[in-house]
Amino acid sequence: MWAKTTRLLARLESKGQVELRGATPVPYEERTVTRYFDIFSLWFCMSCSPLPITFGMVGTKSFGLSLRDASLVILFFTIISTIPVAYMCTWGPKTGMRQLVLARFAFGKYFTSILVLLNLATLTGFCIIVSIIGGMSLSSVTYGTTITPTVGIVIIGFLGLLISFCGFKVLHVYERYMWIPALIAIIITTGCGGKHLFNQVAVPPATVKQVFSFGGLVASFMLPWAALASDFSTYMHPKAPTLRIAAYTYAGLALPTILLMTLGAAIGATTPLMPSWTSGYTTNYASGVLAAMLLPAGGFGQFISVILGFSMLGNLAATMYSITLNFQLLLPVFMRVPRWAYSILITAITIGVGIEAAKKFFINLENFVGVIGYWSAVFIAIVLMEHLVFRGGRYESYTEEGAWMDKSRLPRGYAALVAMLCGFGVVVPCMGQIWWTGPVAERSGDVGFEVGGVVSGVVYVGARWVERRWTGR
């Protein structure tokens, strides 16, 4: 049975319908993709969904910001936090390596497993959030009767499994086109409910604490993509124009995020004044509000709700794809398990946890997203310092044959570990969460990711210099 499955998968791989290569680097001669615009459509499709709308609602509904203040926070924090993601995506064509494989050249072969665990938790959390939003969108069509949120989550999870199972080529083809119906559905939804969006709840001017706390949430939506940025560009030609790859990534991520988060902020500030929207929010949160906005369209509005639910697949499938690669990097023995097998595992986890987490969705959303930005900022700072300061931006320093697996040719990782611990140490007094607010955050708001990133980057430069002198690596 196993032999037949292997032969079938090999045939499908030869036709580009399944990717069997896991986290191993893509050789120079196999990096042949020259359709560079695909990187824009992939990031755009991942962000063109109700997910950013949901995050935008948090700014006005939970943090109490006005639409104007929330919009400015969304604009400036997105502009800044998208930069490292766009830059690190350009590393894929140059090295053929996945992002956390590249991290081994700072953290060493074994300490990278800490990053993998953190990234697995982050990506799995996003998968759960996306599945809940998609499942609730499907449920809202029948008002939770025929299709309950649980059934909707199962449907979205299995469809995400199908796409991620196939791998790189199928993923890019899917993302190339599916942003179009998603964008049309969002425009129609906005048109149906847009006449009410001017009706905003009056709130006091924003405080510094509110601005930085919501800004941290926006950054936490963007920064984690840096840990998987090059995963989606490793098959692109080594001579791919760096500026184009960076620009496509930046525009594909920032443009829909800014616009849709701002739309979400407007909806969040309008919801208390619209009884039908409030009722939809009470039952299915953001998905219920969008369904309520579509009520004037009747049966056609229900059809649009279905499209909104399925629009979550672009994000879910891409995230699941990266998770399968991360599992292989957790321990050397995990490399023996084929990438596609982890697709099945993550789907089971996503569906199981998502069904339970949906019961207190917004609380779970704020708790989860507020935390993940901290480690992402620390990771970005360390990896960028290694690349720019100690490797001089030279990609050939990563591509020596077999170096990524040879611990004797990789750093020991002590410098990265010390820098990470120092970064986390200063994050604690600067973080502001429901379950903990540090003394600094009490006055300034949540500045954990900013302070943690700066401190870890500075400490890494000094510690890495010492490590190089000590070990010669």
Residue 140: pLDDT band (50, 70, 90) is confident
Residue 112 lies in a domain: yes
The residue among 327 and 12 whose pLDDT is bigger is 327
Residue 471 lies in a domain: no
Residue 148: pLDDT band (50, 70, 90) is confident
Residue 19 lies in a domain: no
The pLDDT tens digits of the residues spanning 392-431 come to 999 999 988 889 999 889 999 999 999 999 999 999 999 8
Residue whose structure tokens are 């789907």? 347
Structure tokens at 49: 């969904």
Q: Which domain holds residue 204?
A: 36-359
The terminus-to-terminus CA distance of the chain in angstroms comes to: 46
| Closest of 211, 122, 118 to residue 447, by C-alpha | 211
Structure tokens at 309: 């639910």
Q: Report whether 47 contacts 315 (CB < 8 A).
A: yes
Query: Is pLDDT above 90 for 360?
Result: no
Residues listed for the chain:
473
Q: What is the CATH number of the domain that holds 184?
A: 1.10.4160.10
The total of structural domains in the chain comes to 1
Q: What average pLDDT score do residues 160-170 get?
A: 88
Query: Is pLDDT above 70 for 80?
Result: yes
Residue 118 lies in a domain: yes
Comparing 116-130, 142-156, 256-270, 353-367, which segment has the lowest mean pLDDT?
Answer: 353-367
Residue 54 lies in a domain: yes
Residue 428 lies in a domain: no
pLDDT at position 168:
86
Other CB atoms within 10 Å distance of the CB of residue 145: 8
pLDDT at position 159:
93
Residue 227 lies in a domain: yes
Helices (H), 148-297: 149-166, 168-193, 208-222, 242-270, 275-293
Comparing 221-225, 247-251, 358-362, which segment has the lowest mean pLDDT?
Answer: 358-362
Comparing 37-51, 337-351, 404-418, which segment has the lowest mean pLDDT?
Answer: 337-351
Q: Report whether 20 contacts 153 (CB < 8 A).
A: no
Residue 200 lies in a domain: yes
pLDDT at position 304:
93
